[in-house]
Structure 1
Amino acid sequence: MNESKRNNEEIDLREIFKIILERRFFIVSFTLIVTLLSIIYISLKTPIYEIKSVVRIGYIEDELVEPANILTKKLRLIFNVEGNKENIADTKALVSNIKVVRGVSNFLEITTRGYSNEIAIEKNKEVIEFLKKEYKYKIDEFIFETNRSIEKLEEEINYIETVEKANVLNEIEKVKNQDIPNIDKKINFLKNIELTTIENKLSFNQKKLKEYEKNLLDINKLKSTNDTQNMLMAMQTLNTQNLILNIQNNIENLIKEKSNLKDIVIKNLEQEKDNLLNDTIRKLTIKLNISLKNKISTINDKIELKKIKLKNNSTKNSEVVGTFIENDKPIKPKKTVIVVVSFLLGFILSIFFVFTFPFLNKFNKENDWRA
């Protein structure tokens, strides 16, 4: 039984090889025709080239102009990435993909395809230019605002130098040349005029007091038996006592006035002068030499910081990193793959037809015989 099977298998294989040998011309011809057709197809098919670029997303003060995921969706929508993939014939170039570079959130990979590397590069540049223009206003606005802020700070320094310092110097000059001399004049006037006048009045009143007291003693020493004369003397005594009382009141008031001038008014003026010399001028000098200088220094630091931000590329528009990645060989059609697949397909189909045609002929003959 086993030997019979083996014999049958050997016969079948022989038959197969025999048929293949008999039909070898057809097999070779068919295979070559299919392969030739694929070569013709490849020759007629316009080649498609692919260009890639890596773009660094623009940033303002180290913050992206827009988050990478949102920007990617926006660009894919604008350049119709999803609908363009098989529609290159209309424009000769298309954007085939835009994505965030894996592991680097501030870089985009832009892929374009075209009938030549040059066309694909131009399409790639179109995307990059759009990206630059789309956010250029933000960057320009930031640069403008920063420069305007620097100008305002410089104007503030100029104001301090020309106005505030001048005002402080004028205040110092006013205190030295007006306020203090005026106080000195008042003190001199009070000491040399007012106090002297009071002293003279005191001296005059004291002399008068002594005279009235002497007169009163003299009146009291006089004695008379005449009632009229005694009455006149009593009236004279009363008048003299009134005069003495008035003089004493005047003297007391003058002493108080003198004390007030010396102990209060003049001392207050002298204290005011000391305050101007030791406090007001000192504070103004500190403001001039320290406070305003520190203020200017702080503003200069702000200006330098803003200038450094502009100089050190903390703000920059989107730009290509490196060069465009291109390949001299087109990505479509894949010539080698198509030719190899066509050759294999032609060969397989030719074998299929070689074994199928005899069976079909035999089947048709049987049907004709039966008919």
Structure 2
Amino acid sequence: MYNTMIATTGASLVRNLQRDETFKDITDYKEIAKKLNSLDLEGRRRSCAEINSIENIIDKGYLEDRKNLYFFISDTQMGEKIGMILKEYFKISSKYGFENVEINTVKKLTDTNSEDFKRYGLRNLVKDIARINQKHYANMIINATGGYKAQIAFALAIGQGMNIPVYYMFERFPTVIQMPPLPLSFDSTLYANYSKIFQLLEDIPLLPYEKNFDYDENGDLLPKQKEFLKKYISEDEIDLFQSYLLKGNVKSLYEQLDEKLKPLFDIERIDKEKIISLNAMGQAFVESATFYFNREKEITLKQRKNTNIILESSKKEGHSLEMILKNNVEKILNKVDFIERARVVKFSDKNKNGGFRVKVLGDELNLILNSNEGITHFNIETTARNNVELQKAKIILEDYLNKNWK
């Protein structure tokens, strides 16, 4: 049953209010919302595309219950103002009100910086839709009427990848329409076979494309390379990049891609350096992959033969033992029945307040556990027999650790 809506928003409401004499001297959000609520249908239709389309969706029965309404606003003062007015309107409306109305600011979705808009804003839009869909799976629709025109394509892409109906009201149409699906299909094997570059650029938004990287005996980047990376990414992102142990350059990963996947990345010059990033359509592909492997029941993993996992450390990383014992790591991992072996490959005594990260590296999982005692990196052998099963193992382990690792 559909009871939740994401509605993107634009600037037409503020512009229309500025032209309307009856709203000229009203600045309080609640007063504006009350005034809008008192208008007849035609008055509301002229004032606000978002109100018009949402009310039409409700009237048509596309939303069976009105529990949650999320307004996606731009990262601007005008976006905030519009969000506050619309939130208040749909809280007080007797006929069209929702139980819960929230404002979601899409970070860096702004028309004042075209690079931020393209590189971060549209990707954040996709991420935010995916995050809210996790909470309301199978109960959510998207109303993509308001906002930047570019949003409709990405709302459609993520909607199709996650089975979310997408509605749109064209300016001259009297009613909303459900947008037809794009001529695309998600290929789980394609994602699984090339997941390394997707994971890498999901974790680290920008990376030098042609720069060669190498590591010392401890698995740390050489000092000059760290300094070079600081121009583009943060210290935490450098630590994360090191965990991938990427030897050579990102270009080599990109050139190995199936040709169908290459349009999901952007390559551009920043300060004379070629930079690669995942674009918004690529982000939609990643979120669709996560959704697929979360929901797909037919991908199963064999149970390990031994009762317990084999946990291996080394003298070189001996300090990790305190962290492993204090946090019951072996006991926690033992409960994941497809894990066969966990090897400590790196330890840092940096203090971190919990958290973890799982990624696929080659034919194993790489697990990073953060704790007060330090950060421990494990390579995890599983019963997975192919790349698709390995992706499923990653998703299951992430879900388990979300509940069992602080």
TM range (shorter): under 0.3
In proportion to residue count, which structure has more helix? Answer: 1
Between the two structures, name the one with larger relative contact order (CA 8 Å, sep ≥ 6).
Answer: 1
In proportion to residue count, which structure has more strand? Answer: 2
